[in-house]
């Protein structure tokens, strides 16, 4: 497995725990508001909003919360915040590069909180451009293997999405990660749907060009930093370029 898919597997499992903490709900609601503000409140004419709603529903966000977020974002209801996207570049243990994506209505607060967490957890803030050059924007669609009583195979996914621009399919254990150019993500997702294949999320992410293998000590430190960053209300996503092998994961789980 590539390091990215190992990382994605870990994130996927962690998301279920985050959902219980309510953190994930808040981030998904924010995504919906921003998408509705940018492209209008009609999911049929706003694919980004459609996918933000789909991801929220898959994570069991109540429909009421989703509807209100759409209304706030589109201006149909008062109370929507003017969120800005800010990207911070960070180095963690053993030279791991991280892009920290924030959606915030207060740039100063976001900057201060990110810097504090990075410093406290052994990381350093990087110069602009030094980390981002190690990543490329890619379309990422997550497809669960188990779908309404049937098993979806890698061949099924490839056959459905090849002409839509799929570049790679990674096996994450209980789902497939389908990679494409950022501009093809809606086309890939639509092709999968047309073939009767359901998906959990479809979005543009920053995918690293190369992964750094970590030992147990490095992995523990990096996970701690990522967890602390993702715990911040203004942080929407953390993208990183590390690889943790099955053996190291097993060591971590045992300790």
pLDDT single digits (tens) 53-65: 999 998 889 999 9
Number of domains in the chain: 3
Residue spans of alpha helices (H) in 102-255: 107-120, 154-161, 185-194, 216-230, 246-254
If asked whether residues 223 and 187 sit together in one domain, one would say no
If asked whether residues 115 and 88 sit together in one domain, one would say yes
245 domain-assigned: no
State pTM to two decimals: 0.87
If asked whether residues 60 and 177 sit together in one domain, one would say no
b (16+ CB within 10 A) / e for 33-56: bbbbbebbbebeebbbbbbbbbbb
If asked whether residues 68 and 96 sit together in one domain, one would say no
Query: Residue 20 above 80 pLDDT?
Result: no
∠ CA 171-174-180, nearest 5°, is 40
If asked whether residues 151 and 55 sit together in one domain, one would say no
Q: For all residues of the chain together, what is the average pLDDT? A: 89
Query: What would the pLDDT profile of 200-236 be if each residue is shown by its tens digit?
Result: 999 999 999 998 999 999 999 998 999 899 889 999 9
**Rg for the chain, CA atoms, rounded:** 18
Query: What would the pLDDT profile of 118-158 be if each residue is shown by its tens digit?
Result: 999 999 999 999 999 999 999 999 999 998 888 999 999 99
Task: Give the pLDDT confidence score for residue 218 in this predicted structure.
Answer: 94
If asked whether residues 66 and 95 sit together in one domain, one would say no
If asked whether residues 160 and 101 sit together in one domain, one would say no
If asked whether residues 25 and 139 sit together in one domain, one would say no
233 domain-assigned: yes
If asked whether residues 103 and 139 sit together in one domain, one would say no
252 domain-assigned: no
If asked whether residues 58 and 165 sit together in one domain, one would say no
Would you call 205 helix, strand, or coil by DSSP?
Answer: strand
Task: Give the pLDDT confidence score for residue 17 in this predicted structure.
Answer: 58
Query: What would the pLDDT profile of 8-19 be if each residue is shown by its tens digit?
Result: 556 655 655 555
Query: How far apart are alpha carbons 157 and 78 in whole angstroms?
Result: 42
Query: How far apart are alpha carbons 231 and 248 in whole angstroms?
Result: 24
Query: How far apart are alpha carbons 18 and 24 in whole angstroms?
Result: 6
* Across 1-26, average pLDDT: 60
- The residue with tokens 């990543």 is 135
User: Confidence class of residue 173 from pLDDT cuts 50, 70 and 90?
Assistant: confident
Task: Give the pLDDT confidence score for residue 2 in this predicted structure.
Answer: 38
Residue at which a domain ends, from 193, 208, 223: 208
249 domain-assigned: no
Task: Give the pLDDT confidence score for residue 24 in this predicted structure.
Answer: 83
| Domain hosting residue 172, numbered range | 134-208
∠ CA 24-70-73, nearest 5°, is 95
Task: Give the pLDDT confidence score for residue 76 in this predicted structure.
Answer: 86
248 domain-assigned: no
* Across 79-88, average pLDDT: 88
- The residue with tokens 């497995």 is 1
If asked whether residues 168 and 233 sit together in one domain, one would say no
Query: How far apart are alpha carbons 47 and 35 in whole angstroms?
Result: 9
If asked whether residues 113 and 153 sit together in one domain, one would say no
CATH number for position 152: 3.30.70.980
Task: Give the pLDDT confidence score for residue 66 in this predicted structure.
Answer: 95
Query: How far apart are alpha carbons 156 and 167 in whole angstroms?
Result: 15
142 domain-assigned: yes
């Amino acid at each position: 497995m590539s390091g990215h898919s190992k990382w994605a597997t870990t994130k996927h499992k962690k998301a279920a725990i985050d959902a219980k903490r309510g953190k994930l709900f808040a981030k998904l609601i924010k995504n919906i508001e921003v998408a509705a503000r940018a492209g209008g409140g009609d999911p049929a004419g706003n694919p980004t909003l459609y996918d933000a709603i789909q991801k929220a529903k898959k994570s069991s966000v109540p429909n009421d919360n989703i509807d209100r977020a759409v209304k706030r974002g589109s201006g149909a209801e008062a109370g929507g915040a003017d969120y800005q996207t800010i990207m911070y570049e960070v180095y963690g243990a053993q030279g791991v590069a991280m892009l920290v994506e924030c959606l915030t209505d207060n740039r100063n607060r976001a900057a201060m909180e990110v810097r504090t967490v990075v410093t406290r957890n052994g990381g350093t803030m990087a110069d602009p451009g030094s980390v981002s050059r190690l990543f490329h924007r890619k379309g990422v669609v997550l497809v669960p293997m188990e779908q309404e009583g049937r098993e979806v195979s890698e061949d099924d996914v490839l056959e459905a999405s090849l002409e839509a621009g799929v570049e790679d399919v990674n096996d994450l254990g209980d789902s497939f990660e389908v990679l494409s150019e950022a501009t093809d993500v809606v086309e890939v997702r639509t092709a999968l749907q047309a073939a009767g294949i359901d998906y959990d999320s479809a979005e543009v992410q920053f995918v690293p060009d190369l992964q750094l293998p970590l030992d147990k000590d490095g992995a523990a430190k990096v996970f701690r930093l990522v967890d602390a960053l993702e715990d911040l209300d203004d942080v929407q996503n953390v993208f990183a370029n590390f690889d943790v092998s099955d053996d190291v994961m097993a060591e971590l789980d045992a300790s």
